[in-house]
Amino acid sequence: MSLPASDLTKQPDNRTTMDLGAVLPKTAEVRDDHLFIGGVDMVELAREQGTALYVFDEADLTSRMEAYRDSFRKRFENSDIIYASKAFLNKEVVRLAQAQGMCLDVSGGGELACAQSVGFPMERVFVHGNNKTPQELEEAITAGVGRIVVDSRIELARVSEIAGRHGVVQDIYMRITPGVEADTHEYIRTGCEDSKFGFTMLEDFAFTCVGTALNTPNVRLAGLHCHIGSQIFALHSFREAAAVMVEFMARIRDEYGYVVEGLDLGGGLGVAYLAEHNPSSIDEFAEVTTQAVRELCAEHDLPLPHLSVEPGRSLVANAGVTLYTVGILKTLPGIRKYVAVDGGMSDNIRTALYHADYEPTIANKAGQPRTEIVTLCGKHCESGDAVVVDMPLQHADLGDIVCVFGTGAYNMTMSSNYNGQPRPAVVFVKDGKARVTTRRETYADLYQRDL
Ligand code: LLP
């Protein structure tokens, strides 16, 4: 794996930090050339806590949770927001989600264990995954989770068997593949026909399996689910998915005489990674989805379902940043300028994996224009190890603190210990105070499982 060739014609944009718009966490500001988030000086925080460091703007995070809840509730009273914990998970974010009255999407036993460890109400948990193991299903059912989102016919039988053995009736949602091609990177597109997720609608398979579910003991079909992909800018894709799902619900009513009460339209709202990105707002997303469901239900003479959505990225991506210290500088004439930081693909695999874009700034030069084009490479033994490729940055000196914006989603949860790199701490900042919510990994942590 190597980096794409540098575009040598690319010009610095001369933007300063505060010109980066929707990429910034909401409380970002610049004082005396230093970047502050949550009233905390990122340069001082980096010196105190060490780098690489994940930092979350707590006010930003809670305001997005509130925006989701309120935007949906005011348009659609019978609705819930399910936080997709795969985007970013530690105990504190689960506590925040609970305090905001959210439900929680867990995609396996490990995420469920985190929710249990802080006493998150199990009836508000949705369990996802295309291959939950029998053990994970057993754990979920005995924990008393509210919903298992069943992904296949084989799993339906497993859930029935386990629930029966424990003498309970398990509420399930069935995940349907609506055949909608969302407008996003193919690796994170999930709703199209060729997908390992869900019941395909091809050859009427999903419809037949709904019939099977309705006749399966110890499960109750409480709803249908779909998830068409992630980082989606075009809201019409959600409307298309809603149309397929509501029509499917109408057919279930007509042919099986069963009114499905819940509809979960998944996550996927896109966010700004670059200053020029202009994603739809949470409010616009709520408007499109609730209006679509309302109109489509009226069209099919269906009662309004209990509506839910499962955002991950759009709750946490822009609330989070990563801080690094500049350790090495190398200029390769006619090729590119490397600024090496003390992290990389171990704390942010998205650049290597998806060629993801991020906006960087130097936290101790935050008021200055970004006058150079650089590649922020990591410290790992891999040529393709970079956090930011060919982006504008202020002139970097050794010891500078680099802040990379928009790293709150799918960075920490996709991190690794490659090259024996201990994972960064997670710090929440708010009202001038910083609190560590996940401590930095130690060398001892790395090898404590070894015998
Ligand atoms: N619900 C289900 C069933 C999902 O699979 C996902 C994400 C979500 C909700 C949340 O989607 P969001 O609102 O975050 O788009 N690792 C990739 C993203 C993978 C998304 C997986 N599923 C990335 O770093 O871009």
pLDDT, tens digit, 9 for 90 and up, residues 199-247: 999 999 999 999 999 999 999 999 999 999 999 999 999 999 999 999 9
Please check whether residue 42 is in contact with residue 27, taking contact to mean a CB–CB distance below 8 angstroms: no
Is the pLDDT at 189 greater than 70? The verdict is no
- Greatest CA separation for the chain: 71
pLDDT band of residue 47 (cuts 50, 70, 90) is: very high
Q: What does each C-alpha distance from 392 to 6, 333, 358, 399 come to in angstroms?
A: 13, 17, 10, 18
Q: How far is it, in rounded angstroms, from Cα 369 to Cα 341?
A: 20
The secondary structure of 80-103 as a DSSP string is EEEEETTSS--HHHHHHHHHTT-E
Q: How far is it, in rounded angstroms, from Cα 105 to Cα 120?
A: 12
Strands 262-264 and 219-225: parallel
Task: Give just the sign of the alpha carbon dihedral 435, 313, 305, 262.
Answer: negative
Whole-model pTM over 0.95? yes
Please check whether residue 68 is in contact with residue 392, taking contact to mean a CB–CB distance below 8 angstroms: no
Mutate to test the pocket of ligand 1, among 68, 245, 310, 355 (most ligand atoms within 8 A of CB): 310
Of 376, 413, 418, 380, the closest CA to residue 393 belongs to 376
Is the pLDDT at 265 greater than 70? The verdict is yes
Residues 6+ apart with CB under 8 A from 39: 27, 429, 430, 431, 432, 433
Mutate to test the pocket of ligand 1, among 186, 230, 285, 345 (most ligand atoms within 8 A of CB): 230
pLDDT for 190: 62
Positions of E strands within 349-451? 360-362, 372-377, 386-393, 401-405, 425-430, 433-438
Q: Would you put residue 368 in left (φ > 0), alpha (ψ -120 to 50) or beta?
A: beta
Active site residues: 381
Is the pLDDT at 188 greater than 70? The verdict is no
Q: How far is it, in rounded angstroms, from Cα 318 to Cα 368?
A: 22
pLDDT band of residue 4 (cuts 50, 70, 90) is: confident
Distance 183 CA to ligand 1 centre (A): 14
Structure tokens at 396: 């970097």
pLDDT band of residue 154 (cuts 50, 70, 90) is: very high
Please give the number of the atom of ligand 1 that sits closest to the Cα of 268: 15
Structure tokens at 213: 């579910």
Distance 102 CA to ligand 1 centre (A): 17
Distance 190 CA to ligand 1 centre (A): 9
Is the pLDDT at 316 greater than 60? The verdict is yes
- Provide residues with CB under 6 Å of ligand 1: 84, 86-87, 105, 128, 188, 227, 230-231, 266-269, 310-314, 350, 410
Q: How far is it, in rounded angstroms, from Cα 387 to Cα 322?
A: 10
Please give the number of the atom of ligand 1 that sits closest to the Cα of 149: 3
Please check whether residue 226 is in contact with residue 241, taking contact to mean a CB–CB distance below 8 angstroms: yes
Give the HSE-up count for residue 31: Cα atoms under 13 Å, Cβ half-sphere. Answer: 11
Of 117, 110, 115, the closest CA to residue 125 belongs to 115
Is the pLDDT at 289 greater than 90? The verdict is yes
Distance 311 CA to ligand 1 centre (A): 8
Structure tokens at 173: 């949602």
How many other CB atoms sit within 10 Å of the CB of residue 165?
Answer: 12
Mutate to test the pocket of ligand 1, among 126, 313, 316, 357 (most ligand atoms within 8 A of CB): 313
Strands 103-106 and 125-127: parallel
Of 411, 406, 428, 443, the closest CA to residue 21 belongs to 406
Distance 134 CA to ligand 1 centre (A): 23
